[in-house]
Amino acid sequence: MNQTLEQIRSKYAFEKIKEVKGSKFEKEFSSLVSKLASLVLTNGLGNTLAFLFAKGKDQHLRAIYILSDWLINQSPLGSKKLQDLNAKNVKEKAQSILENLVLKASVEEYMFYTEESLRLINWLRRYSDAMLEKEENNASEQ
């Protein structure tokens, strides 16, 4: 059965959100995903990845893993592969991730990675809104 790239992207995002569901950082991840597109649009993909690495909490590392795994390993349009990348070793692979997606990328590749990230983030946000618990917002209670 043939699927469109949008269907493949959607399925990947759905599976990754299912993996986060029930984790200790579910609420924080949901909050991060809701802001991720604006971070990429405002600061660029490279700065966003650097920011997430600098924060370094579970939700930040998981977001890096999901984006970089899709862009480098899973996307049918991806041309490079990063062996042995998984959700637990993202921090150790930081140099390889940043080199592949930012530092050694041509202008065209960097633009592609940015656009593809935004497309994936859109699906992540949709599934996160539907499936993950949200952080409590004290302002809405007042």
- Residue 78's pLDDT is what? 64
pLDDT in tens, 53-104: 999 999 999 999 999 999 988 777 666 677 788 888 999 999 999 998 999 9
pTM: 0.89
Interval 10-66: pLDDT, tens: 999 999 999 999 999 999 999 999 999 999 999 999 999 999 999 999 999 999 999
- Res 138 pLDDT > 50: no
CA distance 70 to 77: 10
